[in-house]
Chains A and B, each alone.
Chain A
Amino acid sequence: KNQVEQSPQSLIILEGKNCTLQCNYTVSPFSNLRWYKQDTGRGPVSLTIMTFSENTKSNGRYTATLDADTKQSSLHITASQLSDSASYICVVSAGNTGGFKTIFGAGTRLFVKA
């Protein structure tokens, strides 16, 4: 069964600190993995996208890693800011040119405190 599990469910950190969010998936055939940031009540915004052959991708203070062998990904946030408070959703696409399925994780809710 195609599944995407994220941990922790929620996280509280102090402004300026780093944090790492985890995503484990059981998806086949793997196509790509994306991390989205979603502010409360808004649509998700793409942070990174990684295909099978990529094991790291950065977007400013966000760095995503992918281990296709263990089917794990992480999102590392450096020097957190108050504006980083949001839900971070891991999304995995499975399939090929015959069709894709998109599987969403439940998200990690990050709270950054001053």
Chain B
Amino acid sequence: DAGVTQSPTHLIKTRGQQVTLRCSPKSGHDTVSWYQQALGQGPQFIFQYYEEEERQRGNFPDRFSGHQFPNYSSELNVNALLLGDSALYLCASSLEVAEQGSSYEQYFGPGTRLTVT
């Protein structure tokens, strides 16, 4: 049973460029959440996708957008990259919350390290 996978592992971009990160959820999971983690900080919630729609969103600008596909995989797009966007981007998958109740748990991928120069 494959866990959460992310690609690419590392990425170097220049300011102003655009980037797309990819995530495949754990088998059987239908909800994908994206997080940004700066060095030495805890993960910050970007948004969550369920049934191909953005369901929740954190305090991130519109430059951050996403998509979920019918097979539950997801993409994170960041436009007009800034130096401050350099971070580890984590994807986490879970089962739709109504089915989980108090057992709600997320499984994280290994992350994509984005460096903006």
Contacts and interface: CB of A to CB of B under 8 A. Distances in A.
A52 B102 contact: yes
Interface bracket on B? 20 to 34
B42 A31 contact: no
Interface of A: 31-32, 34, 36, 41-46, 49, 51-52, 89, 93, 95-97, 99-102, 104-107, 109
Interface of A is mostly: strand
A29 B97 CA distance: 14
Interface of B: 4, 6, 33, 40-45, 56, 88, 90, 97-98, 101-111, 113
B115 to A, nearest CB: 12
A41 B88 CA distance: 7
Contacts of A93: 104
A43 B23 CA distance: 13
- 4 closest Cβ contacts across the A-B interface? A43-B108, A51-B102, A104-B42, A106-B42
Interface of B is mostly: mixed
Nearest to B102: A51
Nearest to A91: B106
A42 B42 contact: no
A51 B42 contact: no
B37 to A, nearest CB: 9
Nearest to A109: B40
Given A32-B103, A97-B97, A102-B106, A41 B111 contact: yes
Contact of A42 (B43, B101, B104, B110): B110
B40 to A, nearest CB: 8
A95 to B, nearest CB: 7
B56 to A, nearest CB: 8
